Amino acid sequence: MEAKTLKKCIEEAQRFIDLAEAVPLRTIDVETKLTKYPATYIEAGKASGAMKRASMDLSRELANIRQGR
């Protein structure tokens, strides 16, 4: 593993965390015949798309670390 790969991985991890925290969540009450409970959903849109992209970039960098690059 090279130091520059590790630094890049840390940067991508922080980028993913920042974008994941920015994704809006919506909680709704789901009601069935027997119970009522809250359910949280990730809202679709630009923020969740950016988070998914950051996740893919982070996966690539983690693969580079595992390969010893």
pLDDT number for residue 32: 87
pLDDT score of 33: 87
**How far from 27 is each of 7, 42, 69, CA to CA, in Å?**
36, 9, 42
Query: Residues 30-59: what's their mean pLDDT?
Result: 94
If one counts the domains in the chain, the total is 1
Mean pLDDT in residue range 35-60: 95
In contact, 14 and 42? CB cutoff 8 Å: no
Evaluate if residue 26 carries a pLDDT over 90. Answer: yes
The CB density around residue 10, as the number of other CB atoms within 10 Å, is 11
What's the pLDDT at 50?
A: 97
Residue 18's domain comprises 3-66
More confident residue, 60 or 69: 60
